[in-house]
Chain A
Amino acid sequence: QQQVKQSPQSLIVQKGGISIINCAYENTAFDYFPWYQQFPGKGPALLIAIRPDVSEKKEGRFTISFNKSAKQFSLHIMDSQPGDSATYFCAATEGYSTLTFGKGTMLLVSP
């Protein structure tokens, strides 16, 4: 049973555009929602994270929007750049932080 559903599976965005990746979760006990960025041949790296007591968090060009009632959260990448091309994973956790990951979104930002 997949507890975190991520979409789309792949995404192509033009340079300067907005990339949007969505995730939905089922477990209402989740209390921490990080996004990871992974380049080919590398391990995932924490990008940005949010807790359910806020509806939005922004760090530079990256914004998480969180909708607790809908059990959904999304990553927005503003002014997308070719260097942002990577696979993005949403995740969720509760308690001692065993992460449950979505299946990933492969983002390609075209020059």
Chain B
Amino acid sequence: GAGVSQSPSNKVTEKGKDVELRCDPISGHTALYWYRQRLGQGLEFLIYFQGNSAPDKSGLPSDRFSAERTGESVSTLTIQRTQQEDSAVYLCASSLLPDSNQPQHFGDGTRLSIL
């Protein structure tokens, strides 16, 4: 596909379980971003990748959150020991370059519900 693809589209899990969310960026896009969108809120920045490295992890809310990117393509966001406050839509975006001249293209997100 031509756009950013995220999977799964929906995930329901029990409190305390680990979850892994996947993002396939647009081919050739070197910059990749993860955001969290809580109900009725704006998008909250989590982490940014340039290639396979993460120059900015400042938005990760706790050490239960981690992310990696391999092969300058797919990225996974892992949440360990999930809590109810982790319930949100997790959005991934990619851009050709990490530059404000390059628009960020978003996927449709993973809706995570913690029971």
Q: Which 3 A-B pairs have the closest CB atoms?
A: A43-B106, A101-B42, A32-B100
Contacts A32-B100, A34-B103, A94-B100 given; does A43 touch B42 at CB 8 Å: no
Chain A nearest CB from B16 CB (Å) reads 28
Stretch of A14-22, A44-52, A62-70, A75-83 lying at the B interface? A44-52
Q: Which residues of A contact B (CB under 8 A)?
A: 4, 6, 31-32, 34, 36, 41-46, 49, 89, 91, 93-104
Q: Could you say which of B42, B45, B103, B105 contacts A103, with CB atoms under 8 Å apart?
A: B42
Q: State whether B100 touches A93 (Cβ < 8 A).
A: yes
Q: Which residues of B contact A (CB under 8 A)?
A: 4, 31, 33, 35, 40-45, 48, 50, 55-56, 91, 93, 95, 98-100, 102-109
Q: State whether B45 touches A45 (Cβ < 8 A).
A: no
Contacts A43-B108, A43-B109 given; does A100 touch B45 at CB 8 Å: yes
Task: Name A30's closest neighbour in chain B (CB-CB).
Answer: B100
Task: Name B47's closest neighbour in chain A (CB-CB).
Answer: A98
Task: Name A43's closest neighbour in chain B (CB-CB).
Answer: B106
Distance between Cα atoms of A89 and B37 in the complex (Å): 12
Distance between Cα atoms of A44 and B50 in the complex (Å): 21
Contacts A43-B4, A89-B43 given; does A99 touch B99 at CB 8 Å: no
Q: State whether B91 touches A43 (Cβ < 8 A).
A: yes
Q: Could you say which of A34, A42, A49, A98 contacts B48, with CB atoms under 8 Å apart?
A: A98
A-B residue pairs in contact (CB < 8 Å), sample of 13: A36-B106, A43-B4, A43-B108, A93-B100, A96-B31, A96-B56, A96-B100, A97-B95, A97-B98, A97-B99, A98-B48, A99-B104, A101-B43
